[in-house]
Amino acid sequence: MKLKYSGLTASGNTHPKFTRGDIYRDQYGGTVMIKGVEERRVTYRREGYEYDCVMPVYQFRRDFSLVQTAPHNVPTSTPGHGQTSRS
């Protein structure tokens, strides 16, 4: 069998990049918010749950789908919690 080369190469991210504040949904309809990402772990918090959960990246990609991305031009922390606002 002869291979045909189109001259095009695949580019772009195959998986979305996890960003703090992104909202994902699991197969049961529950929503979670990304708290952080380290090497191969995703830290997230379920809606209505007071503790953080940790899951391997490959498993998170398999079990959750993106619902809403966090606004990238708005800070995720609010003034008044150890920070001062500038007027």
Domain ranges of the chain: 23-68
pLDDT digits (tens, 9 = 90+) for 32-58: 999 999 989 999 999 999 999 999 999
Q: What is the pLDDT of residue 3?
A: 72
pLDDT digits (tens, 9 = 90+) for 53-82: 999 999 999 999 999 887 766 565 656 555
Beta bridge partners of residue 44, listed in sequence order: 34, 53
Question: CB-based burial of residue 42 (10 Å sphere; 0-12 exposed, 13-18 middle, 19+ buried)?
Answer: buried
